């Protein structure tokens, strides 16, 4: 692993202080807008910059960065963006300064993950940004497979590797799959890309960026990838990419169904306000809306709101009848049966 002088950057959201103490001003653009990059891109820029947002992950980030060090690929930079951790996360990160070409960005105040990911991309010098959450790891050879994928077609600017979800012992929890059909339809039916293991041309990403509105948390990646896809359809790179570690302290989608429904309404309104995103979604708009209803139906059923779940499910089927015959519908039926036949699990029926 090649190493360069490590750099620490402290940002207050209006200025950046780099290792030479030069101050460069920047501004947050509107969603989908263009932002001049902060980091100067060297002529011998690396192929990849791995962007790792983190907050209070001292127990996990060492394993995450070890997986990068262990890659059989060294044409890369790593940018870690710490979101005001109150534990030893930054101290753990600094132990990797001699093993990685490492830049550490420290936010002056706690912000959403989208802000940290965007900041990491701004500090990136690589041709592609690669997102990796600090409690996840890269599988052996992931970066080499990605580099070979680019080598097969230099025009590839947006692609991803399939993730696997494992427990803390490494046992497989589940393996997400990709739906059939073209990628515009796949993205309308959900977000198989996650965040970890997604590769995007840096300039392409900075034209779109993750939306930083707190109301979009848990859907900011879907929002971003749809807008990026309106410029350049993603491809799936063969071979595994990241391992998502399912642990007790992981930030998961545990919000109420009402919150998810409001978030989806905002997501849809925001995307349809963009001419490019609207044009991208238009052929599959019924599926896009129905998928959201279907998701809320499942979440409501898990939370005991069977009446709400039934209404949202019926609306999803009216909007897009083929959703009736899916694995998610089968899962939903099981949730309803569990509620109906196990009295102790009954809650608010909506």
Q: What is the mean pLDDT of residues 20-30?
A: 31
Q: Find the helix packing angle between 327-341 and 306-319, rounded to 10°.
A: 160
Residue bearing the bigger pLDDT, 251 or 158: 158
Structure tokens at 343: 């009295």
Structure tokens at 318: 């009216």
150 SS3 class: helix
In CATH, the number for domain 7-245 is 3.90.550.10
The residue ranges of every structural domain in the chain are: 7-245, 257-345
Distance CA 121, CA 130 (A): 9
3-state DSSP helix/strand/coil percent for the chain, to nearest 5? Answer: 40, 20, 40
Query: Residue 118 pLDDT more than 90?
Result: yes
Structure tokens at 253: 């989608």
Instruction: Indicate the pLDDT class of residue 6, thresholds 50, 70 and 90.
Output: very low
8 A C-beta contact, residue 261 and residue 182: no
Q: Encode pLDDT of 58-112 as tens digits.
A: 999 999 999 999 999 999 999 999 999 999 999 999 999 999 999 999 999 999 8
pLDDT, mean over the chain: 87
Q: Secondary structure of 296-339 in the HEC alphabet?
A: HHHHHHHCCCHHHHHHHHHHHHHHCHHHHCCHHHHHHHHHHHHH
Structure tokens at 313: 């499910």
Query: Residue 310 pLDDT more than 50?
Result: yes
pTM for this one? 0.85
When mean pLDDT is compared over 24-28, 192-196, 238-242, 298-302, the highest value belongs to 298-302
CB proximity list for 279: less than 8 A, separation 6 or greater? 230
Q: What is the mean pLDDT of residues 223-252?
A: 86
Residue bearing the bigger pLDDT, 126 or 24: 126
Pairing of strands 102-107, 7-11: parallel
């Amino acid at each position: 692993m090649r190493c360069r002088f490590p750099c620490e950057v402290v940002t207050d959201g209006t200025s950046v202080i780099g290792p030479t103490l030069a101050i460069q001003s920047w501004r947050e653009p509107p969603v989908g807008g263009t932002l001049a990059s902060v980091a100067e891109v060297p002529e011998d820029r690396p192929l990849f910059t791995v962007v790792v947002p983190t907050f209070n992950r001292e127990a996990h980030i060492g394993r995450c960065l070890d997986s990068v060090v262990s890659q059989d690929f060294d044409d890369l930079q790593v940018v870690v963006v710490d979101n005001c951790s109150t534990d030893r996360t930054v101290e753990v990160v600094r132990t990797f300064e001699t093993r990685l070409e490492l830049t550490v960005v420290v936010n002056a105040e706690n912000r959403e993950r989208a802000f940290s990911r965007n900041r990491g991309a701004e500090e990136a010098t690589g041709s592609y940004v690669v997102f990796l959450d600090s409690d996840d790891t890269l599988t052996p050879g992931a970066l080499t497979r990605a580099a070979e994928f680019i080598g097969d077609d230099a025009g590839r600017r947006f692609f991803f590797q399939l993730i696997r979800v494992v427990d803390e012992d490494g046992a497989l929890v589940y393996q997400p799959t990709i739906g059939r059909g073209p990628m515009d339809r796949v993205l309308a039916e959900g977000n198989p890309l996650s965040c970890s293991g997604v590769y995007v041309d840096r300039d392409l990403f900075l034209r779109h960026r993750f939306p930083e509105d707190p109301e979009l948390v848990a859907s900011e990646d879907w929002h971003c990838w749809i807008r990026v896809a309106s410029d350049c359809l993603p491809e799936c790179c063969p071979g595994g990419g990241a391992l998502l570690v399912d642990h007790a302290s992981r930030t998961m989608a545990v919000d109420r169904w009402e919150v998810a429904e409001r978030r989806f309404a905002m997501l849809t309104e925001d995307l349809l306000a963009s001419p490019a995103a609207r044009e991208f979604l238009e052929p599959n708009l019924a599926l896009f809306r129905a998928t959201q209803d279907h998701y809320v139906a499942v979440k409501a059923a898990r939370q005991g709101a069977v009446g709400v779940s039934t209404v949202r499910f019926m609306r999803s089927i009216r909007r897009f009848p083929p959703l009736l015959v899916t694995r998610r519908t089968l899962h939903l039926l099981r949730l309803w049966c569990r509620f109906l036949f196990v009295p102790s699990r009954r809650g608010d029926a909506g």
